[in-house]
Amino acid sequence: MSIGNSPEDERPFRDESQEARPSVGRALQQARIEARLTVDDVSSATRVRIAIVRAIEADDFAPCGGDVYARGHIRTLARAVHLDPEPLIAQYDAEHGGRPAPTPAAPLFEAERIRPERRGPNWTAAMVAAIVVVIGFVGFTAFKGGGSSGDAKAQAAEGATPTPRESAAPTPKKATPAAPTGEPSDSAIAAAPQDKVTVQVSAPNGRSWISAKDHNGRMLYDGLLKKGESKTFQDSTKINLILGDAGAIELYVNGKKIEDTFRQGAVERLTYTKGDPVAG
């Protein structure tokens, strides 16, 4: 007979809560089924491709294209099937090494070399030059007027009567400098040509990862757009966009603002052509 606990009693208890908790993809799939939604229904509601929805439900996040897009897709799908996305995001981060690292600056600089922004004219220098011209003209007019007054006094002292033509000399008119016609545009939107599609992406509400391609699939920009920054893209046929956090973005297409209300954290895939905006 042995005294004390048996070896079986000394084994550590299993964490049944961890084993019972479903994976991120399984949780999304169960919630979709309980909501009586098909994969096609979820894809139509979220604009996430069917193949990506199926891959995520199978816990395969490689088709998402990176942690930033994967987290955005998880948040979008969770809201579509009436789940709180934050626990799923935290579970994904714990299983994949934490939140994504900040984007290196190299892709941003490379995109700038590919697609440099147009700079507006230097209105400050133009205003200073206009003020200098006006001051010089006023000083010249005052000097000339003072000389004419002295000549008239000398003629009166000598008893000469000035003729009406001499006394009624026309007064030079002051040249009024042309006022600036409003704040210059910092992008190509103000002069968007009719034969091209022009898209301006701004981030007034926060930062967002964006990707832009032309109609040939050539990458125009792929990087992090910081708060307060904007980018302008132009192509002869169409512009394809991916917005990592669409809620932080404002879009202007062919000179008109897109009024879609994108949700915070939602990943949006958009395509615009020369005829847009027809529908937001």
**CATH numbers and ranges of domains, the chain:** 16-95 (1.10.260.40), 103-119+185-280 (2.60.40), 123-167 (no CATH)
Residue written as tokens 């052509």? 273
In 60-91, which positions are buried (b, 16+ CB within 10 angstroms) versus exposed (e)? ebeebeebbbbbbbbbbbbbbbebebeebbeb
pLDDT at position 254 is 84
238-243 and 268-273 as β-strands: parallel, antiparallel, unpaired?
A: antiparallel
The single-letter DSSP state of residue 81 is T
Residues paired with residue 149 on neighbouring β-strands, in sequence order: none
pLDDT at position 2 is 44
pLDDT at position 160 is 45
Residue written as tokens 């440099």? 116
Neighbours of 119 (CB within 10 A): 8
Neighbours of 220 (CB within 10 A): 20
Q: How many helices (H) and strands (E) does the chain have?
A: 9, 8
- Distance separating alpha carbons of residues 22 and 106, to the nearest angstrom: 39
pLDDT at position 39 is 93
Side-chain-facing half-sphere of 101: CA atoms under 13 Å: 3
pLDDT at position 61 is 93
Furthest-apart CA pair in the chain: how many Å? Answer: 150
pLDDT along the chain (280 residues), means of 10: 47 52 91 94 94 94 92 94 93 79 50 56 83 86 64 49 49 53 45 81 86 91 90 91 83 84 82 73
pLDDT at position 27 is 92
pLDDT at position 9 is 45
Could you please report the per-residue DSSP string of 41-62?
HHHHHH---HHHHHHHHTT--G
- Distance separating alpha carbons of residues 182 and 177, to the nearest angstrom: 15
Q: Tokens for 225? A: 């757009």
pLDDT at position 203 is 87
- Distance separating alpha carbons of residues 211 and 242, to the nearest angstrom: 5
Q: At what angle do helices 85-95 and 67-80 cross, to 10 degrees?
A: 150
Q: Supply angle C-alpha 242, 248, 254, rounded to 5.
A: 60
pLDDT at position 111 is 47
244 phi, psi to nearest 5 deg: -70, -35
